[in-house]
Amino acid sequence: MQPRAVLHVIAVLLIVVAPAMGVSWAVSHAMGDTPAVQHAFLISTGVTAVAGLVMFLSTFAKVDLGRRDGFAVVTFGWIAVSLFGALPYYLTGVAASPIDAIFETMSGFTTTGASVLTDLEALPAGILFWRCLTQWLGGMGVLVLCVAILPFLGVGGMQIYKAEMPGPAKDRLTPRITSTAKLLWGVYLALTLAQALLLHLGGVDWLEAICHAFTTMSTGGFSTRSASVAGFDSLYVELVIVVFMFLAGVNFVLHYKALTGRPIAYLRDPEFRFYGAVWLIGIFILTMNNLWATTFATIGQSLRAAVFQTTSIMTTTGYATEDFAKWEISSQFVLVLLMFLGGCAGSTAGGIKNVRAFIILKEMVRDIRRFIHPQGVFHVKLGKQPIAQDVIDPIVGFVLIFVLLFAGATFGMSFCTEDIATAFSSVVAALGNIGPGLSSVGPMAGFADIAPGGKILLTGCMLLGRLELYTVLVLFLPRFWQK
Amino acid sequence: MRVIIIGAGRTGGQLVASLCTENHDVTVVDSDPRVLTDLSSQYDILTLAGSGCDPQILEEAGVEKCQLLVACTQEDETNILACACAKRAGVERTVCRISNVVYTQKKEWFSLEQLGVDVVISQQEESAREIYNTVMMPGSSEVVPMLDGKARIVGMKISKVSPLFGAKLDSFPYPDLLDLIRFVAIMRGGELVIPHGDTVFIEDDEVYILGTPSMTLDFIDWACPRQQELLKVVIAGGGSVGLPLAEQLEDAPVQVVVIEKDEKRASYCSSMLDRSLVLQGDALEEATLKEAGISEGTSFVAVLGNDESNILGCILAKQNGASFVVSQINKAEYSPIVTHLDMIDRVVNPNVTITNAILHMARWKNIEAYSFLQQVPGQLIEFVINAESKHAGVSVRDLKLPRRAVIAAVKRDSGVIIATGSTELLVEDRVVVFAEPEVVKKVQQMFA
């Protein structure tokens, strides 16, 4: 690893994040927050920008990132932005402790959406905007943004792109990674603007419309209201959000193809078909189950709640319109399964990802078929395309590590919580970047009461989940640090 | 007619044999002088040693004055280039053998036609199609498409249980059927019999009928009742014939099992096929056949690399209970021997198949197409009746055709008419004539 080069790129990252804080100050100023809050934003912006510039100048050199540097840049870069991004929370005093502030920032950048803040309506506008902006930046990947807007990263861009973009196989839209990153960010921006406009047309004021567009397209789930989306109490708003959550959970390469005149690409994509099928099945089960358990009186209510919650959980957004922690245990279990599954590769959603689950399922069927035909030759196929064994193996490994980390972290959390449901669901919610869990971390509760140790553990889980395990875990190999 | 053949392999050789019996001027180009020496010692042909896409060689071969060029080397690229050169030099018709299907795709800016290839023939695809027909119509011994696929000739063996057994054409139980199906030829104990009104069908007759594809299928099902419903097809060898065959069979309502010895090839087959079971193993081992699950209702197709393995594989499969076994045989010498083996139900020779396909498309003057039947001496010739023909407006009865030739069918507009004595020939009709070898020349002159 080349520490100089890594620090250099992280410096660039801070220089990109500083103006984002500046924008939050502008919002704070425009919305008439108290001078103390505005000062806090100015100080945070200044500190981040100065730190970035000093690091940038002191490490000035030709950047040529290697494979290992890419992992280090992404992991440490995310930790750095979470530390600096926590400044506004800490300086304004909305977070009770530095740990809370870091938890909130990490939850933002990783698009988890778990919050230690309770009374959102009482918070300054600048803080609410900053929360949502961190999610939006983290959704498509703040480093991919750097790759997109800073072409001098050139060669190393591929390493960063690989380490930060979710999914087992990285689609390239163009031969050059910089232009691919630009196109993806372009699609992301376009969809965000479209959603903000639609929400505004539905009577939501501009600040809330933009904030919700930020956190929907990034599948983050931070809201400007304590009651989350339920606070709007509007079918129109819920429908707009459901549609855009669903889109945010789809591979953005497909959106790009659709926007450039090939909408058939959605239906041709095996992962999209799987994602759509699971989504429909999830809605069906929840609707029927809730109706049968008389959680809701009419099929209309049951369907509305099921559609919203299935989409919100499956895309790992984490908005709430209902307190599903009070639903039937069987319904809660379906939601937990969807938390593990997550969205599609190449989307802003978290979780294991549909394509991995799909391939693992097919791999299992293949193993069973091998029992019947020991001489048989079977291929795991995605559509008509056979999947090579060296693609399948890391996927199996990924799911195993995901489950092991889940078990280990749940054990850790069991020391910090009262009941097992809280322990395991908080870990799934953090690892899968969902946000709300069950029981005392349910959609209508928060993470404020969790012990500091638990918060640190969950912060780590969020980072691991967002960077899809391997990027972070390679740093724990002694070999990584050897020359 | 002047013909240039590029490539003197098995296909080229078979083609030379067929063309020489018809007294065409044949020039053969091949890069291996020894093969050429062998060929020229057997046949009256001109041979040139060199590359088929060398313009100098093509000029020496007389490409500018030649009517037909057939490129059938092992290399697709050589074949395509040879055709492209020849077309530009003025050859009327170019026939190109292709084994890699990627070249057969069509784009706005790419097609073999644009490059100068008139007819594309894939040996593997042709073989696969022939075996497919054989497996799906086990009652048939041979299926040859005619008249652009609108009709076909199907051969079948008459057994004692067949409703045709003992029937006489004059007093045929279903006279209406004779308007839809034409009995073209009968092979009886190695002798060719042209059926007439007083012909009686006896056991072991190999009867050839002509009709539309659906009609022939129904007729075969009636005339040769299947003893066992086809449930599964086991293909030994996932090579260049086995794989396309499996792909075609996947669309039919049968289980498909492919046995391939080579690990990489088996893996490739499995990746290309959708619902077939691919087994990696030796088709000549009983254990593998057991795993493939050969039983009643199973057809077994041997398309392994060599003839001996194919024959052994078929015998083994039959002993293990396969209902119907088909063997591919490359060496022409083996065909008659294997035909007499009771164990093997059907033999398919890829060289004959492709020669048939090539000759079928090798038309000139008013002859539209030629076909050969594997077991029957004689030819099927498709003629066009053009405006100045003296046969236009004449009925078949008054045609004064040699006795050893029959007019089998007429394609008019897009329909097929089964010819009878009273059928009148019209301008632009396409006529299928079956002629015995001795009268082929006479028939050709008649319609020329």
Same domain, B278 and B315: yes
Query: 10 Å Cβ neighbour count for B243?
Result: 24
Same domain, B260 and B153: no
With respect to residue B366, please indicate whether it lies within any of the assigned structural domains: no
Place of tokens 């690229």: B77
Q: How far is it between the farthest Cα atoms of chain A?
A: 75
With respect to residue B327, please indicate whether it lies within any of the assigned structural domains: yes
| Contact present, B66 and B2 (Cβ < 8 Å) | yes
| Contact present, B112 and B121 (Cβ < 8 Å) | no
Q: How far is B270 from chain A (nearest CA, A)?
A: 6
Position A103 scores a pLDDT of 95
> Which residues in chain A have their CB less than 8 angstroms from residue B270's CB?
377-379, 386
Interface test with A, best of B250, B262, B270 (most A CBs within 10 A): B270
CATH number reported for the structural domain that contains residue B384 in this entry: 3.30.70.1450
Position B367 scores a pLDDT of 66
Same domain, B90 and B169: no
A320-351 burial by CB neighbour count: b if 16+ within 10 A, else e? Answer: bbbebbebbeebbebbbbbbbbbbbbbbbbbb
A186-245 tens-digit pLDDT: 999 999 999 999 999 999 999 999 999 999 999 998 999 988 898 898 999 999 999 999
Same domain, B435 and B325: no
Residues of chain A with confidence (pLDDT) below 50: none
Please report, rounded to a whole number, the percentage of residues in chain B having pLDDT higher than 90: 27
With respect to residue B370, please indicate whether it lies within any of the assigned structural domains: no
Q: Determine which helix (DSSP H) or strand (DSSP E) holds B136, and give its type and residue range.
A: helix B123-136
Q: Which among A259, A251, A247 has a CA at the least distance from the CA of A217?
A: A247
> Which residues in chain B have their CB less than 8 angstroms from residue A371's CB?
none
> Which residues in chain A have their CB less than 8 angstroms from residue B260's CB?
377
B221-277 tens-digit pLDDT: 788 777 677 889 999 999 889 999 999 999 888 999 999 999 999 999 999 998 899
| Contact present, B290 and B296 (Cβ < 8 Å) | no
Instruction: Label the pairing between strands B324-328 and B298-302.
Output: parallel
Position A63 scores a pLDDT of 67
With respect to residue B169, please indicate whether it lies within any of the assigned structural domains: yes
Q: Which of A377, A379, A381 sits opposite B280 (nearest CB)?
A: A377
Same domain, B62 and B82: yes
Same domain, B213 and B314: no
Position A171 scores a pLDDT of 67
Place of tokens 């494979």: A67
A378 touches B: beta carbon within 8 Å? yes
> In which band, very low, low, confident or very high, does the pLDDT at B143 lie, cut at 50, 70 and 90?
confident
B327-356 tens-digit pLDDT: 998 887 787 788 778 888 888 888 877 887
Structural domain ending residue among the three candidates B121, B152, B176: B121
Residue B93 confidence (pLDDT) above 90: no
Q: What is the rounded CA–CA span in Å between residue A158 and residue A160?
A: 5
Q: Which among B76, B73, B68, B38 has a CA at the least distance from the CA of B52?
A: B73
Q: Give the residue on B whose Cα is nearest the Cα of A369.
A: B277
Residue B127 confidence (pLDDT) above 80: yes
Same domain, B248 and B333: yes
Structural domain ending residue among the three candidates B201, B223, B245: B223
Same domain, B113 and B155: no
Q: Which among A225, A190, A189 has a CA at the least distance from the CA of A205?
A: A225
Same domain, B219 and B166: yes
Q: How far is B229 from chain A (nearest CA, A)?
A: 25
**C-alpha distance from residue A477 to each of A4, A396, A471, A481 (Å):** 20, 20, 11, 7
Residue B191 structural domain: 139-223
Same domain, B78 and B161: no
Q: Which of A375, A384, A386 sits opposite B279 (nearest CB)?
A: A375
Position B245 scores a pLDDT of 94
Structural domain ending residue among the three candidates B171, B199, B223: B223
A144-176 tens-digit pLDDT: 887 777 766 655 667 777 777 777 766 677 777
Q: B55 vs B400, which has greater pLDDT? A: B55
Q: Which of A374, A379, A384 sits opposite B270 (nearest CB)?
A: A379
For A396: left if phi > 0, alpha if psi spans -120 to 50, otherwise beta; the answer is alpha
Place of tokens 């419903």: B229
Same domain, B183 and B110: no
Same domain, B16 and B109: yes
| Contact present, B371 and B359 (Cβ < 8 Å) | yes
| Contact present, B408 and B380 (Cβ < 8 Å) | yes
Average pLDDT, chain B: 85
| Contact present, B136 and B229 (Cβ < 8 Å) | no
CATH number reported for the structural domain that contains residue B46 in this entry: 3.40.50.720
A:B CB pairs within 8 Å: 31
3-state secondary structure chain A: CCHHHHHHHHHHHHHHHHHHHHHHHHHHHHCCCCHHHHHHHHHHHHHHHHHHHHHHHHCCCCCCCCHHHHHHHHHHHHHHHHHHHCHHHHHHCCCCCHHHHHHHHHHHHCCCCCCCCCCHHHCCHHHHHHHHHHHHHHHHCHHHHHHHHCHHHHHHHHHHHHHHCCCCCCCCCCCCHHHHHHHHHHHHHHHHHHHHHHHHHCCCCHHHHHHHHHHHHCCCCCCCCCCHHHHHCCHHHHHHHHHHHHHHCCCHHHHHHHHCCCCHHHHHCHHHHHHHHHHHHHHHHHHHHHHHCCCCCCHHHHHHHHHHHHHHHHCCCCCCCCCHHHCCHHHHHHHHHHHHHCCCCCCCCCCCCHHHHHHHHHHHHHHHHHHHCCCEECCCEECCEECCHHHHHHHHHHHHHHHHHHHHHHHHHCCCCCCHHHHHHHHHHHHCCCCCCCHHHCCCCCCCCCCHHHHHHHHHHHHHHHCCCHHHHHHHCHHHHCC
> Domains in chain B: how many in total?
4
Q: Is A378 within 8 Å of B270 when comparing Cβ atoms?
A: yes
With respect to residue B13, please indicate whether it lies within any of the assigned structural domains: yes
With respect to residue B128, please indicate whether it lies within any of the assigned structural domains: no
> In which band, very low, low, confident or very high, does the pLDDT at B281 lie, cut at 50, 70 and 90?
very high
Nearest 5°: the CA angle A8, A14, A19 is 140
B17-66 tens-digit pLDDT: 888 877 789 999 999 999 999 998 989 999 999 998 899 999 999 998 88
